[in-house]
Amino acid sequence: ALTIGIVGLPNVGKSTLFNALTKNQVLAANYPFATIEPNVGVVNLPDARLATLAEIFGSEKILPAAVSFVDIAGIVRGASEGEGLGNKFLANIREADAIAQVVRGFEDGDVVHVDGAVDPAADMATINTELILADLETIDRALPRYEKEVKGKRMDKAILDAALEAKAILDEGVPLSARSIDLEPIRELGLLTAKPFIYVFNVDESVLGDQARLDELAALVAPAQAIFLDAKVESELIDLDPEDAAELLASTGQTESGLDQLARIGFATLGLQTYLTAGPKETRAWTIPQGAKAPQAAGVIHTDFERGFIKAEVISFDDLVATGSVAEARAKGKARMEGKDYVMQDGDVVEFRFNV
Ligand code: GDP
């Protein structure tokens, strides 16, 4: 499954957020290095369309799409050199498909800041510098081998060229994701700054209500996406029933919980989308890469579906709701038969035809 690694300096609220993410009670302690083992939590992708479909089809259950999060141990200055939990941190983060960096925006005299002061820009620079240094080290370790292999004509020169190009960018202090270069030839290196990035600002209610401040923080990380939440509020929200949760959320001026935002934006950052299937047994969202064609989408349900793919009957969610049933959608010409070159669209309600 695709996972998003949660990183950030110690004491920025990662554990608090992660507790909310998983409803697990991971120890959230007020000292550096409290989170040692990485933990995986799975969060459902909120999708109001599923309930509507389940009603139309009389489905017994609803299965939403999900995003996995890995809580990765705290990083500090010097992590790339193996200080603190550095090496373990780097190994865990390498396996994540995207990175969500939690940045502290809340002021609280009782909670120590590792670098002495709450300064989001400085914190982000610290983390990014460590990631850049780690990538440089990875490349420097690979280069002698690449040079030797290319010299002996046992390796495509494109690999060496990509590594040198990446090194030049990192030497400037720039993360790789900020430049559009082709890193496919050196994918095996698992470079950290090449991964998609999301910034999660853990802020107080007062900041959540201060649009000018939010715009300022968002501008710091653009074009990467920024999410604003109060980790303490998030951890309270999970213990409330939906009505009370909505009320608490509204009182902080938000319409969507931070966790829902995280799932939604994380999903998009990973380049994913969903299509929907529905029947009396279940209504379900299936995860596919954006731009996936019909057979690949079928393969997510079962590999046999991809191999034996014939065609897909597709009704858009909106058409299905407007017509009220599959039969009515067919009668009104809203059900399309799509072949193997069809590019799946968000909100497609699909039934596959296949040979086994
Ligand atoms: P981590 O080291 O990044 O995992 O940080 P923790 O989640 O353990 O949080 C460190 C301390 O900050 C804990 O005492 C939390 O209760 C507190 N904390 C976390 N989020 C917030 C917040 O939004 N506001 C305030 N005031 N305190 C918070």
Q: Which of 54, 9, 48 is nearest to 32 (CA)?
A: 9
pTM, whole model, 2 decimals?
0.82
Name which CATH class applies to 291-354: alpha beta
Question: Which residues fall in the annotated binding site?
Answer: 11-16
Q: Quick check: 194 pLDDT over 90?
A: yes
pLDDT for the residue numbered 52: 97
Mutate to test the pocket of ligand 1, among 7, 9, 14, 16 (most ligand atoms within 8 A of CB): 16
pLDDT for the residue numbered 278: 96
pLDDT for the residue numbered 29: 38
| CA–CA gap between residue 286 and residue 271 (Å, rounded) | 14
- How distant is the alpha carbon of residue 240 from its chain centre? 25
| CA–CA gap between residue 297 and residue 280 (Å, rounded) | 21
**Per-residue model confidence as pLDDT tens digits over 265-304:** 998 888 999 999 999 999 999 999 999 999 999 999 998 8
- The question of ipTM being above 0.90 is answered as yes
Mutate to test the pocket of ligand 1, among 37, 108, 110 (most ligand atoms within 8 A of CB): 108
Calculate how far, in angstroms, residue 257's C-alpha sits from the geometric centre of ligand 1: 18
Calculate how far, in angstroms, residue 101's C-alpha sits from the geometric centre of ligand 1: 14
Least confident of 205-219, 245-259, 315-329: 245-259
Query: Could you tell me the residue ranges of all domains in the chain?
Result: 291-354
Is the separation of the CB atoms in 218 and 238 below 8 Å? no
Mutate to test the pocket of ligand 1, among 35, 111, 114 (most ligand atoms within 8 A of CB): 111
Q: What is the bridge-based pairing of β-strands 66-71 and 3-7? A: parallel
- How distant is the alpha carbon of residue 32 from its chain centre? 25
Tokens of 191: 């470079």
| CA–CA gap between residue 297 and residue 303 (Å, rounded) | 10
Q: Quick check: 86 pLDDT over 90?
A: no
User: Cα–Cα–Cα angle for 22, 23, 25, nearest 5°?
Assistant: 105
User: Stretch 300-323: mean pLDDT, rounded?
Assistant: 94
pLDDT for the residue numbered 76: 56
What is the enclosing helix (H) or strand (E) of 139? helix 120-151
pLDDT band (50, 70, 90) for residue 195: very high
**Per-residue model confidence as pLDDT tens digits over 110-151:** 877 777 777 889 989 988 998 899 899 999 999 999 999 999
The amino acid at residue 228 is F
Work out which ligand 1 atom sits closest to the CA atom of 107. Answer: 26
Q: What is the bridge-based pairing of β-strands 61-63 and 282-289? A: parallel
| CA–CA gap between residue 277 and residue 297 (Å, rounded) | 11
Is the separation of the CB atoms in 341 and 297 below 8 Å? no
What is the enclosing helix (H) or strand (E) of 310? strand 309-316
Residue list, ligand 1 pocket, CB within 6 Å: 8, 10-16, 28-30, 34-35, 74, 106, 108, 111, 202, 230-232
**Three-state secondary-structure class, residue 248:** helix
Higher pLDDT, 94 or 138: 138
Question: Which residues fall in the annotated binding site for ATP?
Answer: 11-16
